[in-house]
Copies of this chain bind each other. A is one copy, B any other.
C-alpha cells in the first residue's frame, strides 16, 4: 500500500514582481495552501493559508553558518534559485506500537534548491511537505565541495502569525519543560510570568517573549495551529521568540557552552555539523477542529521509519514501583534516609521519612503486586549507591549504575521477578552528570542484560555536566539519542525523564517508549502542583511530540491522608485519574499509587487492571485545550474499547456518542464516574461505577465534576 510519485512542475509557479518568485503547493485535500519562494532581495520566504485564509503570513527562512576558522557568507541573506522540485506521496505504515494500527502518510512536497551569492557558493535545499493536517519544512545541506564541516550559528525561520492569538504556553527555557502552562494572548506573554518558577529544580528561563514548543495557538476564528518540530537529531532544540506587536515568532536554538565572551545568543555556536546535514522539521499542525490536532500523525510521518532491526523485545506495559513512597516522604532514595522528595506535611510538623525504599523485601512486595494484577514491570528507584549526595552539587562521579546498596539484591530481585512473570525496570538517574553516565553506559547496559532487566528509566535531574551545557542543547540532544541507540543494540526499552521534549523519534527508535519532559504528577506531592486544566493541555502541547510517562492512577488524592494538615494534593478526582490512562497516551503507563491504596478500592482498581497500553485505533471524541478532552481507544488485537474523558477546573456535562463501535454489536460498558457530589478540591475520591450494555447508537450525557473525569471500559460481548 505504497504509492509515491515524483512530479516536476506539479505545483504552480507564480511570478509576483521583480525577481520574486513564488511556488505554490496545496495539501492533498486542497485545504492548505503553501507559498514558497524568494523575495525581491533573494531571501527565501513562505506563507500558509487554510481554507482560503492566511494562517502564516510571509515568513523568513534561512540558516546562519560559520566555518571553523574563517567567516563565510551567511545563508539566508541572498540566494539564487537553482531548482524547484515537487513530489506527491501517499503510503501507509504500521508502527511497532501506537494509537492506531496503520498510519497514512499523504503529502505533496516542494523542494527549493538555492545557492548563496558568495564567491564559493554553497547549496541549501528547503523542503516543504504539505499534508491535510499541516505543513512541515526543513533545511538540507547536501555534501558539496564548498561546504563540509561547519558551525550552525542561527536559524532564521519565523512563523509570522496572523493575529494576537490565544496561546497555551510555558516560558522559554532550555533546561526544563516542567512549568505549568500559561494561557494568554500572544501580546500578554511578557506580562504573564507568574508561573516562571513553580518548584522546578533546574530552570534557566529566558528573558523576553520566549515560549517553548509544542506551542498551541487558536485564532479568533477558531483555527487551531500547533507549532513544534519533528525528528530532532544532531541539532539543538527550538524555542520561539515572539514579537508581541507583530505576532511573528522566530526560531531560537539552544546554544552551547563555548564562546563565553560572546553575549549575543544569536552569535553563539548552536551545532557542529558536517554535510550532508538536515535540520529537524518545523511543524505546523493546522485544523479548525481541535480533535484533528490530537489525531494528527504528521510529526510521526516526518520521522524516519524504524531502525530497530529486531523489535521483538519491545513490549508496551503497565508498571508499578518504588517511587511514590519517596515523593510522599514515606521512604527515601538513599540508604542513609535523608533523600525523600517531600518534607512531609505543609503543616511543617510531621515527617515520616526515615527508611530506605529500595530494599529487596520491599521490592518483592511490589513484584507480587505486579504479578497478581497483570502489570508487566516493576520500577525501583534508589537501588544503587550514590543517593546520599546526588542532588544540587553539580558533582561528576555520583552514580556508577551498577553497584546496588547492600540492602538491595539486584540479582535476586530480577530472578524473583522473572519467576513471577514480571520484569524489572532499572533506574539510571544521572543527576545531570551525563559525562559520567556516558562513561558507564556500556557497563550499565551489559549489567542489565545480565540481570535480565529489559527496560530502563533514565533521569536527568539537575544542572548538566558538561558544565555550561543545557538539557536542550546540541550536545545533550546527541546524548539522548546515543543512549536510545545503544539501548536498542542491547534490546533495552527506554523511558527518559528530564530529557529534551520528544519530536516523534519513537517511530525511528520504537524502544524509546516514553519520556517525561513536562510537568508530571510528581509535582502534586510537594509543590503547588498541577492545576485541574493541566492534563487537558498536555495532549495539545507536550504529547504532540510523543508519549509521556505522566504516572497517573492516584487513588489517595490528598496528602493530608498521610500528614494531617498538609495542603498538597492531586488536583483531580479519582475518576479523572482513571481517565488519564486514555487521555495521556503512552505505551508504558505507571500504576502509580501505593499497592494498599489500590487494594482498598478493588472495584475502581479494576479499570487499571483492564486498561490496555497498545491500540489498534483511537478516536478523539471531544476536545478543547484547557477545557476538556474525551478519547476512545481500541485495545490492540481485540474488539474492546476504553474511553477516558476529563474536565478542567469546571464541572461540565459531556455528550458521549459511541458511534465508533462496530454497528450492530453490543458491548458491556463499565463507567467509572465522579460521584454526584465529587469535586477535585472537596470530595475528590468519590466515584460511582455503573455497568451498561451499549451499542454504536448509544448517546449519553456524562457529568464530570470540577477537575473530574470518567473512564469507561467497553468489552465486546
Chain A residues with a Cβ under 8 A of chain B: 68-69, 148-149, 151, 256-261, 263, 269, 272, 274, 389, 392-396, 435, 438-439, 441-443, 463, 465-469, 475, 478
User: Which of B149, B260, B395, B443 contacts A442, CB < 8 Å?
Assistant: B443
A–B complex contacts, Cβ < 8 Å, 19 sampled: A68-B392, A68-B393, A148-B389, A149-B395, A256-B468, A257-B258, A259-B468, A260-B468, A261-B263, A269-B467, A396-B475, A396-B478, A438-B438, A439-B441, A442-B442, A466-B466, A466-B468, A466-B475, A468-B468
A475 to chain B, nearest CB (A): 7
Question: In the assembly, what is the distance between CA of A272 and CA of B394, in Å?
Answer: 7
Q: What's the Cα separation between A257 and B443 when bound, in Å?
A: 28
B149 touches A389 (CB 8 A): yes
A389 to B273, CA, bound (A): 12
Residue of B nearest to A486 (CB): B439
Contact at A394–B439, with CB atoms within 8 Å? no
Give every chain B residue within 8 A of A442 (Cβ-Cβ).
Answer: 439, 442-443
B contact residues around A466 at 8 Å (CB): 257, 435, 465-469, 475
One complex includes copies of this chain to the number of: 2
A469 to B263, CA, bound (A): 18
CA A392 to CA B465, docked complex, whole Å: 23
By the criterion CB–CB under 8 Å, are B393 and A149 in contact?
yes
Q: Is the CB of B258 within 8 A of A467?
A: yes
Which residues on the B side are within 8 Å of A469 (C-beta)? Answer: 257, 466-467
Say how far A234's CB is from chain B's closest CB, in angstroms.
10
Please name all residues of chain B whose beta carbon is closer than 8 Å to the beta carbon of A257 when the two chains form the complex: 257-258, 260, 466-469
Q: Which residue from chain B places its CB closest to the CB of A150 in the assembled complex?
A: B393
A395 and B256 contact, Cβ closer than 8 Å, known pairs A442-B443, A466-B475: no
CB distance from A380 to the nearest CB of B (A): 26
**Within the complex, what minimum Cβ distance (angstroms) separates A464 from chain B?**
10
Scoring A263, A393, A478 by chain B CB atoms within 10 A of each residue's CB, the highest score goes to: A393
Q: Using CB atoms, name the residue of chain B closest to A262.
A: B260
Closest B residue by C-beta to A393: B149
Q: Which of B272, B393, B394 contacts A396 (CB 8 A)?
A: B272
Q: Which residue from B256, B395, B441, B465 sits with its C-beta under 8 Å from A467?
A: B256
Chain B residues closer than 8 Å to A256, beta-carbon distance: 467-468
Q: Which residues of B contact A69 (CB under 8 A)?
A: 392
Please, how many angstroms separate the alpha-carbon atoms of A535 and B365 in the complex?
71
- Bound together, the chains give a CA A210 to CA B514 distance in angstroms of 51
B-side contacts of A439, CB under 8 Å: 438-439, 441-442
Task: Pick from B269, B272, B463, B467: contact of A393, CB below 8 A.
Answer: B272
* CB neighbours of A68 from chain B (8 A): 392-394
Residues of B within 8 A of A263 (CB): 261
Check A395–B274 contact: CB distance below 8 A: yes
Nearest B residue to A263 via CB reads B261
CA gap between A478 and B433 in the complex, in Å: 14
Q: How far is the CB of A668 from chain B (nearest CB, A)?
A: 54
Pick the most buried of A151, A258, A469: most chain B CB atoms within 10 A of its CB.
A258
**Considering the complex of A and B, which 8 residue pairs feature the smallest CB-CB distances, nearest first?**
A466-B466, A257-B468, A260-B260, A257-B257, A149-B393, A258-B467, A258-B468, A438-B439
